[in-house]
Structures are given as C-alpha cells and as structure tokens.
Amino acid sequence: SFTVAIIGRPNVGKSTLFNRLVGKKLALVDDQPGVTRDRRAGEARLGDLNFTVIDTAGLEEGDSASLTGRMRAQTEAAIEEADAIFFVMDARAGATPEDRHFASLVRRAGKPVILLANKAEGRVGEAGAYEGFDLGLGDPVALSAEHGDGFAELFSCLLTALPEATQLADDDDERRERLVLADDEEGSELDPTKPLRIAVVGRPNAGKSTLINRLLGEDRLLTGPEAGITRDSISVDYLWRGRDAERRLKIFDTAGLRKRAKVEEKLEKLAAADTLRAIRFAEVVVVLLDATIPFEKQDLTIVDLVAREGRALVIGLNKWDLIEDKAHIVALREEAARLLPQVRGALVMPVSGVHGAGLDALMGAVISAHEVWNKRLSTSRLNRWLEGVIDQNPPPAVAGRRIKIRYITQPKARPPHFVIFGNQLDELPDSYRRFLTNGLRQTFALPGTPIRMTLKQGD
C-alpha cells in the first residue's frame, strides 16, 4: 500500500477531501474533541484503491501566533511520509501567494504531485482553475470535495502518478472487474436548468448578425432589453421556442462587443479576438459559412480553432436562398466530412438568415451537438469495446517491443476525454490513435465534437 499527503493553505477544503476519501465515520473517530492533532491519518478508498491519507488540516484551528512555522513543519513532515501528494487549491480564489509558497515546498520534495482545484462545482471555478497551471504542478484536476465531483479523474491521475503502487497486473482480472463495476455510471453532464451557451462565428459577411437577429426575433440584438431578453455585457439570454422544443439560450453578442470596441483597435485584429472570445464563451459554436463561397481557408481556420478549444460544433451554410440546386447539399456535406476530419460527423445545416429558413433544424442540431458533447460513457462499455478492437486489430509492435493497451476510461465530458492506459504507449503510431478515436466516435455516436485522448503509461 502507499501513502498520500493532502497539502495546501488553510481553507481550501483539505478536511472535506480527507473526509470524502476516508468516509465520514472514520474521520470522526480520528477527530475526537480534546485531541489536538496537527496531522491525522486515515484509510482512504478511491475507485478500487486503498491507501493511507494524511491531512494537515488540524493546524487550521491552532493559535495563530506560531501557525506559520508549525504549518510549515507539519507540511514538510507529511510530505516526507508520503509517496504522493494531493496539492489542494481553491478554484474560486485562484492561485494566491500562499498557494505559491506551499507549491514551492511541494516542488522541492520531488514527489509525484496531483494538483486539485477544489470548490469547482459547476463552472464557477473554471477561471481560477486555469490559474492553477502556473503553480508549476501540472494540469489541475477540477474537483468538488463537497459534492463528490471529479473523483473519477483524480483516480485516473493517481494511477498515473504511482504506476507501480497502483499497477493492474496482467492477470488481475478480479481487480479489473471491480474497477469496471465501481464506475458503471452511464450518463451526461448536461444540466438542463442552465441556458445553453452558443456563439455564431464566421468570416465577415457570412451573415452572422443577420442570423442572430433572426434567431432573437428581428432587430432586438441591437435594441434590447425587451420582454424575454436580458442582456449583460457579452451575451443575450433568451428562450428559443422551436417547433418541438424550447430551450434557454445564452447567445454571444458579437455586435455588442464591436460597438464598445475602441476605435483605434484594428478592425482585423478585433475580429480575430472576437472570434476566440466567442468560442471560449460558448458550449456549442455555429460556424457560419457563406454557401455561395463555402470552405475558404479562413473558414477552415475557424473550425480548427473551435476544435482546439474543445467546443461542440455545427456548420451553418448560410444564404441558402441563393443556391438554386438544393441537392447541392449532398456534395457540400461530403466536402465538409473530407475537409474537417477533426470534428467528423458535425452536422451541416442549410439556413437563410434573411428569410428565416432552416432555423428550427439548425437549433435542433445545436441541441443535439450539445448532448453529444456532454455525454459520459461507462467504463464497462468502453472496455468491452476496447477488448474487441484490440482482438481484431492489435496495436503494432515497434522496434520489436509490444505495445500493450490495458484499459480505457472517460474521466471527463465537455468535450469527451478518454484516457487509455498501457505500456509503451509513447510508441503508439498516430494512425492507430486516430483509428481508436474514430472507432469511439462511430461506436458511441459522438459526431461533431472534438475528442480528447490521453495515453498514460500504466507500467
């Protein structure tokens, strides 16, 4: 077995994490009143892993006079005892000077560290979690110790951080079974009570403003607020009433931004920055093309940007009223599939902003892309699929060494993110990686979303 120390400045949620890992009962026993303990230890369970966890949270209640020195000493002692470290920061507060101080203690120890951006329930913590990147402790895992979110990813990270201690032996079928059973929740991270955030991006003159105005019902984009529309600095909140669906939307307000922009800003630069800002704001991005001149270089660049930012995507072919031969859509869809492999299967929807045609279908596509983007696949289904794939098409041997793929999990959605564990995976050819990504896309119906795949050494 192994030991993990929970480190971090006061109030980031170390105790809550400790309690979550060891279970409430145990923690209470360890936490008897009158017993002043600066460090406490408990038997933790995460996924199918059992290990010892040390918490330094007791310090927070101590008298403040000598706190800093004691805290430092206790932290160092805990680090010394541990095989790995959970470094906890508060995602809502971002990275503070105190975090940096503790981070430097931890870095110096040279032990495996997993950075946890805690209190990240919902999306509120996202910005602060980004700040975690510059603590120099690797990518943060967004966590809510209180709500129990993010533990699947924490589990994956722990397997990677301590490959020997947590190794799944080739013949350890029983453990593999337990692992699969432990995480058999199939589902979605979609929260239907929250408005779906969309942005319409595209080249100048593709018809973005016309389309957004049409979606909002004529010229309200420029004149709001009106009934049913509230407007904040960057977006318009609004209820889309389609033929068969209603959905609350938050539409990125490009026009509003442009109006406020400083005159001296170069228009071109502004357009590029706007596009990126819009993409980062959105969950689903509608890339609007001018159907009379589709798939220009700039269009492809924009699609690429959407994919890199990990957003769901729908292609709108605007000015469809100008296309005489409507059967042309077949060729255009084929072209999209060929030119945009990174978002294979993205829906390509003809629309006319000027005439208001195709909007219902476009919004249907947006809603379905959003569902796909939120999808969470169970570990058991994924591994059943993976076994079949490897049986039929095993990964190649490179330089006489066998590449071994052990198993797969999906720790994150939005966009779907898969982690594959195995040996020699750094040798895995890109073609095989693409083969796996496309297999996932087809088998589990994941069109129109970027797919993230991380390969992790499990040996």
Residue 271 or residue 390: which is nearer to ligand GDP going by CB? 271
Q: Measured between alpha carbons, how far is 399 from 406 in angstroms, rounded to an integer?
A: 20
220 counts as binding ligand GDP under rule CB under 6 A: no
Q: Measured between alpha carbons, how far is 153 from 429 in angstroms, rounded to an integer?
A: 25
210 counts as binding ligand GDP under rule CB under 6 A: yes
Nearest distance from residue 317's CB to ligand GDP, in Å? 10
Block residue for tokens 């003159």 = 205
Q: Which residue type occupies 120?
A: A
Residue 69 or residue 204: which is nearer to ligand GDP going by CB? 204
Residue 117 or residue 363: which is nearer to ligand GDP going by CB? 363
Nearest distance from residue 235's CB to ligand GDP, in Å? 16
Nearest distance from residue 301's CB to ligand GDP, in Å? 16
Residues 189 to 208: which contact ligand GDP by CB under 6 A? 202, 204-208
Among 13, 150, 350, 353, binds ligand GDP (CB under 6 A): 353
Cis peptide bond N-terminal to 225, omega within 30? yes
Nearest distance from residue 356's CB to ligand GDP, in Å? 9
Nearest distance from residue 362's CB to ligand GDP, in Å? 12
- How many residues of this chain interact with ligand GDP, rule: CB under 6 A? 15
Residue 154 or residue 286: which is nearer to ligand GDP going by CB? 286
Query: Phi then psi for 258, rounded to 5 degrees?
Result: -65, -35
Nearest residue to the partner ligand GDP, using Cβ = 207
Nearest distance from residue 275's CB to ligand GDP, in Å? 11
Residues 368 to 407: which contact ligand GDP by CB under 6 A? none
Q: Is 261 left (phi over 0), alpha (psi -120 to 50) or beta?
A: beta
Query: Phi then psi for 455, rounded to 5 degrees?
Result: -105, 130
Residues 305 to 334: which contact ligand GDP by CB under 6 A? 318-319, 321-322
Nearest distance from residue 134's CB to ligand GDP, in Å? 36
Contact partners, residue 141, CB within 8 Å, separation at least 6: 114, 115, 116, 117, 150, 153, 154, 157
* Distance set, CA 68 to CA 60, 71, 88, 94, 438 (Å): 10, 5, 17, 21, 53
Residues 155 to 174: which contact ligand GDP by CB under 6 A? none
Going by C-alpha positions, the residue among 149, 452, 143, 139 that lies closest to residue 310 is 452
| Tokens of residue 219, six digits | 């010229």
73 counts as binding ligand GDP under rule CB under 6 A: no
Nearest distance from residue 448's CB to ligand GDP, in Å? 21
Query: Phi then psi for 444, rounded to 5 degrees?
Result: -105, 15
- 409 close to 429: Cβ distance less than 8 angstroms: no
Q: Which residues bind ligand GDP (CB under 6 A)?
A: 202, 204-210, 318-319, 321-322, 352-354
